[in-house]
Amino acid sequence: MKNAFIGKLLPLLRKHWPHPKCEVNHKNPLQLMVGVILSAQSTDKTVNELTPALFKKYPTAKAFAQADPLHVEHMIYRAGFFRAKTKSVMGACRMIVEKFGGEVPRTMEELLELPGIGRKSANVILGASYGIASGIVVDTHMIRLSNRFRLSRLDDPVKIEQELCAIVPKKDWIFFSQSMVLHGRYICQAKTPRCWECHLIKICPYTDKVLSPRIDEKKPPRETITGIPITIRKN
């Protein structure tokens, strides 16, 4: 049943998100690693506003490793938990310099050694930076959608990832991760899912569908914070 649903789900997701991508702006794996550490309990929009100046000041892992912590804290203050995040960023960069030759690792096992990096972050880095399908990214959006689509009844991210990896073809893990996160953020939202815009509505088993927008709703955005068009169902 779940495999059959995934077979129908993937092509419909591609109608919404033919070219999904990670919403943490980055030009290389180091920038993505720093970005995902900063995005914890913050928003990608806020992180994307902070990181251009941060990466100009600290362009390499060595630069971060040798930085003045107080200056880093000042630059990332708006991301929240700035002291802990500074400690994680600098600690991860020191390990990258001292143990990994200055390059962000390319394996799950090595990434998990870095301060501030868990399975979710490691999957994001490996998929978005290296094109390596190491697993499936399970964040709050993936947990919610997996429940609504009856792909999992669990709330433990590691166990949900195991369930999803068993039914989603490995060749689709990166696409599935990126498109489901975007879908949860912009279409299948927590409080009011935008079912009237959703290509998945005919197969979606979620019972509390919202079939029309509020009368006073303004025209919804047609692109993500990184400029990806949001292709909606029109009929």
Q: What is the distance in angstroms between the CA of the first residue and the CA of the last residue of the chain?
A: 27
Instruction: Output phi, psi for 223, to 5 deg.
Output: -150, 160
Question: Active-site residue among 139, 155, 170, 208?
Answer: 139
Compute the 3-state secondary structure of the chain and give helix, strand, coil in percent, each to the nearest 5.
Answer: 55, 0, 45
Q: Which amino acid is at 169?
A: P
Question: Active-site residue among 21, 120, 156, 216?
Answer: 120
DSSP 96-107: HHHHSTTS--SS
DSSP 117-149: --HHHHHHHHHHHH----S----HHHHHHHHHT
Total length of the chain: 235
Catalytic (active site) residue 208? no
Query: What tokens were used for 224?
Result: 């993500």
Query: What tokens were used for 31?
Result: 């920038």
Tokens 């190491």 belong to which residue? 134
Catalytic (active site) residue 172? no
The catalytic residue positions are 120, 139
